[in-house]
Amino acid sequence: MGWVTISLRKMALKQRVSNMQYRLLQVSQERQTIANQSQYTQRYLNAMKNQQYSGITNSYMSAVQELQNNAANMDPTSSEWSAYQTSLDQLALVQSRQQMAVDSVFQGYEDALMGDVNRRDQQLEAEQTQLETQIQAAQAELESLDEAMEQSIQDSAIKL
C-alpha cells in the first residue's frame, strides 16, 4: 500500500476515532444526566412520602389528644378506661397500617423508576464499552498505519 493510500486511510480513521470519542462524551453526559434525574426524583418521592407520614402522624396525634381529653376524668379501674386503652391501641394499629401502605406505594414508584433508570444505564454502559473497544482498535490500527507509512516511505526512497 502506498503512502498516499495510507495517508487517506489514516485521515478517515482519525475522523472515525473523533466521531466515536464525541459519541462517548455524549453517552457519558447522558449517563450523568440520568443519575442526576434519578437522584432528584428519589428526593421528590422521599419528600412526598414524608408529607404523607406527616399527615398520618397529625391525624393520629389529633385522635389521641381527643381520646385523652375524653379520658381525663375517667377512673383507671373502670370499663371505660379499658375501652379507652383499646381505642389507643387501635389508633396505633391504624397509624402503623397507613404508614405501611404509604411505604408500599412509594416503594412501587421507586422500583418502577429505578428499573427504567437501570435498564437505560445498562444500555448506555454497553454502548460506552463498545465505543471504548472500537476506539482502542482504531488507535491500534492508526499505530500500525504509522509504521506502514514509515516503511513505505523508506521503501520508496531513492537509493544511491
Cα-Cα end-to-end distance for the chain? 23
The percent of residues in the chain predicted with pLDDT above 90, rounded, is: 59
pLDDT band of residue 6 (cuts 50, 70, 90) is confident
Query: In the predicted model, is pLDDT for residue 160 greater than 70?
Result: no
Q: Residue 105: which H helix or E strand, with range?
A: helix 79-156
Give the domain ranges of the chain. 3-156
Quick: pLDDT tens for 17-65: 999 999 999 999 999 999 999 999 899 999 999 999 999 999 999 988 8
Query: How far is it, in rounded angstroms, from Cα 89 to Cα 64?
Result: 10
Q: Is 94 exposed, middle or buried (0-12, 13-18, 19+ CB in 10 A)?
A: middle
Query: In the predicted model, is pLDDT for residue 74 greater than 60?
Result: yes
Residue 114 pLDDT: 87
Query: In the predicted model, is pLDDT for residue 88 greater than 90?
Result: no
Residue-wise over 107-120: b if at least 16 C-beta within 10 A, else e? Answer: eeebeeeeeebeee
